[in-house]
Chain A
Amino acid sequence: MLLQTPSSGFVLISVLLVSVLMSVLVLHLHLQVIHHWTVSNYLDSQMYSLLLAESGVEYARTILPHLDLNSVLLGLDGAHAGTRPGWRNPATFAEARLLDPMQWSSLVDDGLPHVNGQMLLPQGYGAAGSGRFFIRFSNNPEEAPDLDQDSIVLVRSLGIVSTRSHFLLNRSRNSFAIVEARLRQEKAFLIPSPLTLFGDAGAFEWNGNLFVLDGGNQPAVSVVVFSEQGLQSDLLDSVSEQQKELFRGKGGNPSLEDASLHYQQNGFGGIFKPEFWRHFESRLPDFADNPPSGIVYFPSGGDFSGEFQGVLVAKGNLTLLPDASIKGLLLHLGGGKLLIQSAQIRGGVWMSDLDCSTDPSSSRQLKLRMEGAARLNYDSALIKKALAYFPPTQIGWRILFPEMEQ
């Protein structure tokens, strides 16, 4: 016969109570860990999404100079789909919360970057982990959505990180951020002829009859008057009757045009302001490349030989030696003479010499000498290619929130 003591049932109850207590404690601990993991995961992914969005803006800034902007605004189908709420965003805020970043692609191709008929980022750019960014260009609100004329564009970048959900809470909500930047591609140096002169007066020396300035369908020389007429007559006075034949291109002999109106009326008015030149010259050393490629700056002039493709900027006395070959753009900003000795330039040359230290600023005399078999051939494609080395100017940046969606 089994003997039962008075405490026999108490042990079972105690064990059960302790088991329940331990289970509750373990569950509590588990939920605490899950809660903290979720919070830190959301925080990390939210910060990561902001970084991705900014990376998208940097990507856009890099490719913008190489894009045909009006074609990008219309998309590959060549027609703008119109405006609707959130049309400037890669995805609306509501979509972005729930879409699968690894599979999603936009149904509307307006503003998605493409080159030669190929979409650059059909499914965004995949970053580390489950992060991705998508970008979309749109015209600035001051203009029609399908036609850019002022070279100002908005880019919106969606940085998105797929957030894993807990098995108890079977719903995912992506972490994402949308950043907008307003970018302007500078066109001031998209010059209309092989030699563009900006100023009020000049001292020109044309040595011999072997040099050529060939504008093709464009004038050989364009003159942009800063404040007083005189540059054009200085140029004409310096050229002999025989040498006039060497200024080939649109118009008469010599091929020459006054492009002042073109620069004043087509959004290039900035070149008439001293701030433009002060800013450009002060920042140029930071943007110039060393070793030379892309943008090269010679602040004190010097002798240049060899081949170069891109933008060559110089001040002071610059001599292009006979074996020098430049494809792109040569900007001579004064402070000395530009001497071209039998060198070859395909693209264009810009000359100006503004004294921005005085108020109002004034233009100093431009000094140019060409000798030997120097050739200046206009090539707008090479000029555009060279200008692509100039990064777009960022004139705005903001983080977008749902209430700001337009």
Chain B
Amino acid sequence: MRRNEGFSLLEMILALFLSTGFLLAFFVLLREFQWGCADLALMIERDQNLQLFPLLVPRLLLASGNNRWNQGWEGLSESNGRVSSNSDMDGPEGFPDGALQNSFESIVLQHSGTDLQIKSGSSSFQPALKNISDLSSSGTLPSFSFTVEASTGLPVRKTRRILSDAVRLDLYLWNYRSNLFAEAP
């Protein structure tokens, strides 16, 4: 009998323990990595929503109030958390025609549940951005500001809390610029 024959069993047992330990450590590490990735995805989605808001909203609202002096409607108004923008921008001849016929001439923004919803024309509200936890607006025309708060939607595993962040967007509405003379002739 060779002197080192008994080592095979010990080596095997040791190898089993070690490989189990390594596997466990690997899976723990993998789980942490996956959780980290999941948290990162939540944070990135939240930040993307916040970054998208200042790009999306000004395009919709910058021309608010165009041709309002010639009509009976308000250009920009806020009530019950809804921001309504009316702007007579286009007509059959390519110029304001005194009517809000095109869908892009009448826009309403609201915060409902966890969505930022937008309604254009006579359609219904459609979700535009997810995981919006708050939307507030204020201002004295021609300045108008929005504060939008977005959240991760789900608790971040690292902190076990839903994380929120907010951005503030200040708009200068050119149709409300101060004129020395009244707009109506």
Mark A residues whose CB is within 8 Å of B. Answer: 43, 54, 57, 141, 181, 184, 186, 188, 267, 269-270, 275-276, 279-280, 283-284, 286-287, 390-391, 393-399, 404-406
Is the CB of B182 closer than 8 A to any CB of chain A? yes
User: Sorted from nearest, which 8 A-B pairs have the closest CB atoms?
Assistant: A406-B94, A279-B182, A397-B174, A393-B179, A398-B63, A398-B89, A393-B181, A287-B180
Q: Are A284 and B180 in contact (CB under 8 A)?
A: yes
Per the 8 Å Cβ criterion, residues 125-156 of B in contact with A are none
Is the CB of B95 closer than 8 A to any CB of chain A? yes
Please indicate which of the listed interface residues A141, A275, A393 has the most CB atoms of chain B within 10 Å of its own CB.
A393
For the complex, give the distance between the alpha carbons of A186 and B182 in Å. Answer: 10
For the complex, give the distance between the alpha carbons of A325 and B94 in Å. Answer: 50
Q: Are B93 and A270 in contact (CB under 8 A)?
A: no
Q: Are A393 and B175 in contact (CB under 8 A)?
A: no
Q: Are A280 and B177 in contact (CB under 8 A)?
A: no
For the complex, give the distance between the alpha carbons of A269 and B184 in Å. Answer: 11
Q: Hey, which chain B residues are within 8 Å of A283, CB to CB?
A: 178-181
Cβ-defined partner of B89 (8 Å) among A276, A279, A404, A405: A404
Query: Nearest chain-B residue to A286 (Cβ)?
Result: B178
Query: Nearest chain-A residue to B69 (Cβ)?
Result: A395
Mark B residues whose CB is within 8 Å of A. Answer: 55, 62-63, 66-67, 69, 87, 89-90, 93-96, 174-175, 177-185
Separation in Å of the A388 CB from the closest CB of chain B?
A: 13
Q: Hey, which chain B residues are within 8 Å of A54, CB to CB?
A: 174
Q: Are B181 and A394 in contact (CB under 8 A)?
A: no
Q: Hey, which chain A residues are within 8 Å of B175, CB to CB?
A: 394, 396-397
Separation in Å of the A11 CB from the closest CB of chain B?
A: 28
Separation in Å of the B51 CB from the closest CB of chain A?
A: 10
For the complex with contacts A275-B182, A390-B180, 13 further pairs of A-B residues with Cβ separation under 8 Å are A181-B174, A184-B185, A186-B181, A276-B182, A283-B179, A284-B180, A390-B181, A391-B180, A394-B183, A397-B174, A404-B90, A404-B94, A406-B93
Query: Nearest chain-A residue to B63 (Cβ)?
Result: A398
Q: Hey, which chain B residues are within 8 Å of A141, CB to CB?
A: 93-95
Q: Are A405 and B185 in contact (CB under 8 A)?
A: no
Q: Hey, which chain A residues are within 8 Å of B182, CB to CB?
A: 270, 275-276, 279-280, 393
Given contacts A267-B185, A276-B181, A286-B178, contact A398 B87 (CB under 8 A): yes
Given contacts A398-B63, A399-B63, contact A393 B180 (CB under 8 A): yes
Query: Nearest chain-B residue to A295 (Cβ)?
Result: B180
Q: Hey, which chain B residues are within 8 Å of A43, CB to CB?
A: 55
Query: Nearest chain-B residue to A54 (Cβ)?
Result: B174
Q: Are B94 and A405 in contact (CB under 8 A)?
A: yes
Please indicate which of the listed interface residues A269, A283, A395, A399 has the most CB atoms of chain B within 10 Å of its own CB.
A395
Please indicate which of the listed interface residues B67, B174, B181 has the most CB atoms of chain A within 10 Å of its own CB.
B181
Q: Hey, which chain B residues are within 8 Å of A276, CB to CB?
A: 181-182
Q: Hey, which chain A residues are within 8 Å of B66, CB to CB?
A: 396-398
Separation in Å of the A157 CB from the closest CB of chain B?
A: 12
Q: Are A280 and B185 in contact (CB under 8 A)?
A: no
For the complex, give the distance between the alpha carbons of A287 and B177 in Å. Answer: 13
Separation in Å of the B16 CB from the closest CB of chain A?
A: 29
Separation in Å of the B44 CB from the closest CB of chain A?
A: 14
Cβ-defined partner of B174 (8 Å) among A279, A280, A287, A394: A394
Q: Hey, which chain B residues are within 8 Å of A186, CB to CB?
A: 180-181
For the complex, give the distance between the alpha carbons of A186 and B179 in Å. Answer: 11
Separation in Å of the B169 CB from the closest CB of chain A?
A: 13
Query: Nearest chain-B residue to A399 (Cβ)?
Result: B63
Separation in Å of the B162 CB from the closest CB of chain A?
A: 29
For the complex, give the distance between the alpha carbons of A405 and B89 in Å. Answer: 12
